[in-house]
């Protein structure tokens, strides 16, 4: 027989805030039992999360000029306000930064030659820089600037003993349940319902009593949600096998269950 178990979680009711609200642990009152003689998968059913993160974060706010690292304060920047913040940050070098609306890029002007090093410049995407620039008295973004911020949220469950490490993200593998596209403006709610759940195999013979959820950006870094809370629903699909001698380890025929047949289980304590 096939069973689909749905676990609804809210970060506001998390058992432990490991890193802000972007990495939390949930302890389930009713653990999800995964029998040995079964095939089990897990997937993201839905999610609701406010777009509360900045377009320049604590992991994307650095620029390397003349081999020195300079930083600006994380925040939501327009092109002009970012140019002003960069001019202030680079004042020791007397660099003036302006935004060129025609080129969709920044101009860095200085009385002495400067070099912007691509490696170590975590703000490269926002600045429209795809390579090391300079040395020169004036440097211009070589590609269009990008102030959209994170375009997708990776929902990671990293304690599920998944048999499939399927997601390659920023140089490392992680158990990503799903990738949630961000299509709303800052301050709005991202509402996501999976039309086709991406089922990920998990190891059988387990009793899942804890779920650790991480919200990761498209660079592979924890996304600073600035204390904002979210809700999500995780679905477990468990197909039990027959134990009869003539049908050993064969799935039992049963009508396929849809999300409408999902049963509630598991609340945080």
Residue-wise pLDDT tens digits, 54-82: 999 999 999 999 999 999 999 999 999 99
Least Cα distance to 268 among 14, 42, 23 occurs for 14
Contact 237, 1 (CB under 8 A): no
Residue-wise pLDDT for 144-195, tens only, equals 999 999 999 999 987 665 544 444 454 444 588 999 999 999 999 999 999 9
Residues 200 and 179 in one domain: yes
pLDDT digits (tens, 9 = 90+) for 87-143: 999 999 999 999 999 999 999 999 999 999 999 999 999 999 999 999 999 999 999
Give the tokens for residue 216: 């990761």
Cα distances (angstroms) measured from residue 221 to each of 19, 128, 171, 200: 12, 20, 11, 22
**43 and 176 share a domain?**
yes
- For residues 176, 177, 183, 186, the Cα torsion angle rounded to the nearest 10 degrees is -70
Q: Supply the range of the domain harboring residue 205.
A: 2-53+150-265
Q: What is the pLDDT of residues 27-57, one digit of tens each?
A: 999 999 999 999 999 999 999 999 999 999 9
Final residue in a domain of this structure, among 140, 167, 192: 140
CB 32 within 8 A of CB 256: no
Same domain for 40 and 170? yes
pLDDT over 70 (residue 268): no
145 part of a folded domain: no
Q: Where are the beta strands (DSSP E) in 80-230?
A: 96-100, 105-117, 133-140, 152-157, 167-169, 172-174, 176-181, 189-193, 200-202, 206-216
């Amino acid at each position: 027989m096939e069973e689909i178990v749905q676990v609804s979680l809210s970060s506001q009711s998390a058992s432990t805030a490991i890193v802000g609200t972007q990495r939390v642990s949930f302890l389930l009152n009713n653990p999800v039992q995964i029998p040995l003689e079964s095939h089990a998968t897990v997937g993201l059913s839905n999610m609701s999360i406010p777009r509360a993160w900045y377009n320049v974060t604590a992991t994307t706010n650095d620029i390397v000029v003349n081999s020195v690292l300079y930083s600006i304060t994380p925040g939501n920047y327009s092109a002009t306000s970012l140019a002003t913040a960069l001019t202030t940050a680079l004042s020791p070098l007397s660099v003036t930064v302006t935004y060129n609306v025609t080129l969709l890029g920044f101009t860095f002007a200085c009385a002495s030659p400067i070099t912007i090093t691509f490696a170590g410049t975590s703000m490269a995407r926002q600045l429209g820089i795809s390579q090391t620039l300079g040395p020169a008295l004036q440097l211009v973004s070589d590609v269009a600037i990008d102030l959209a911020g994170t375009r997708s949220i990776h929902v990671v469950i990293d304690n599920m003993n998944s048999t499939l490490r399927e997601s390659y993200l920023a140089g490392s593998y992680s158990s990503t349940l799903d990738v949630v596209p961000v299509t709303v403006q800052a301050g709005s709610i991202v509402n996501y319902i999976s039309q086709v759940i991406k089922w990920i195999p998990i190891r059988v013979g387990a009793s899942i009593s804890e779920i650790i959820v991480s919200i990761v950006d498209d660079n592979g870094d924890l996304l600073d949600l600035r204390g904002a809370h979210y809700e999500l629903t995780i679905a477990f699909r468990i197909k039990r096998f027959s134990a009869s001698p003539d049908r050993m380890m064969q799935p039992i025929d049963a009508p396929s269950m849809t999300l409408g047949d999902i049963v509630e289980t598991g609340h945080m304590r």
